[in-house]
A and B are shown apart, each in its own frame.
Chain A
């Protein structure tokens, strides 16, 4: 079993839709949870990070962590064509990082 599981998509939504991206994990030792956005032929860009269970909001983005279910989510409100990218979840414990395989999102105008 992989440490981190993420649906590769692709996920195609109309502009303005609410997008839900999810990851599950198996290691209860993970302490930090991150979401990265990667545009084609670019490096991953850190979008949000959280520590412990709960929600964190930043503009149109909300990150949610449920440690009891080992499940994390990223919600994008009012999605825009510029949000079209691959989204990677990542988790860490004591400076070791584990990445999901990424979900490709396409927001259609």
Chain B
């Protein structure tokens, strides 16, 4: 059973460009979470999605950031017009349906975004 997959692992963008980060959850998992982590800091929650629905986006900046989890395909975190402050590691995590399994989360390897 493959784990949570994220790509690309490293992404370099110039200021003003768009960044698209992709996440494929573990097989059988219907919940996806995105987190941001700055060097030497903890995980900051951004958004929680289920298929075709945003459940909680309280951690997402109001502008330039969006996320989706379509019926088919991976979840996408999109950052428009990137700025240097967006440079960070972005982690995706998935969890199974709470009604069928324990309420735990499994993380992907992360995408390291560098904005020049």
Residues of A within 8 A of B (CB): 31-32, 34, 36, 41-46, 49, 51, 88, 90, 92-102
Taking a contact as CB atoms under 8 Å apart, the answer to whether B107 and A45 are in contact is yes
Tell me the nearest residue of chain B to A92, going by C-beta: B103
B17 within 8 A of A: no
Cβ of B112 to closest chain A Cβ, rounded Å: 8
B43 proximity list for chain A (CB < 8 A): 44, 88, 99
In the assembled complex, the Cα of A32 lies from the Cα of B103 at a distance in Å of 6
Are B31 and A32 in contact (CB-based, < 8 A)?
A: no
Complex Cα distance A98/B58, Å? 13
Contact A96 to B56, CB < 8 A, known contacts A32-B103, A101-B42: yes
| Residues of the A chain whose Cβ atoms lie less than 8 Å from the Cβ of B105 | 34, 46, 90, 92, 97
What secondary structure prevails in chain B residues at the interface with A?
Answer: strand
Q: Number of residues in B with C-beta < 8 Å to the partner?
A: 25
Whose C-beta in chain A lies nearest to the C-beta of B104? A49
Within 8 A of A (CB), among B4-25: 4
| With known contacts A34-B105, A43-B91, A43-B107, A95–B42 Cβ distance under 8 A | no
Chain A residues whose C-beta falls within 8 Å of the C-beta of B4 in the assembled complex: 43
Give the residues in chain A near B33, CB-CB below 8 Å: 97
Contact of B48 among A45, A51, A95 (CB under 8 A): A95
Using CB atoms, name the residue of chain A closest to B103: A32
Contacts A44-B91, A94-B98; A34 near B104 (Cβ below 8 A): yes
- B27-44: which residues lie under 8 A (CB-CB) from chain A? 31, 33, 41-43
Q: Write 29 A-B pairs (CB below 8 A) sorted by A numbering.
A: A32-B102, A34-B104, A34-B105, A41-B89, A42-B109, A42-B110, A43-B4, A43-B109, A44-B107, A46-B104, A46-B106, A46-B107, A88-B43, A92-B104, A92-B105, A93-B103, A95-B31, A95-B55, A95-B95, A96-B56, A97-B33, A97-B95, A97-B105, A99-B42, A99-B43, A99-B45, A100-B42, A101-B41, A101-B42
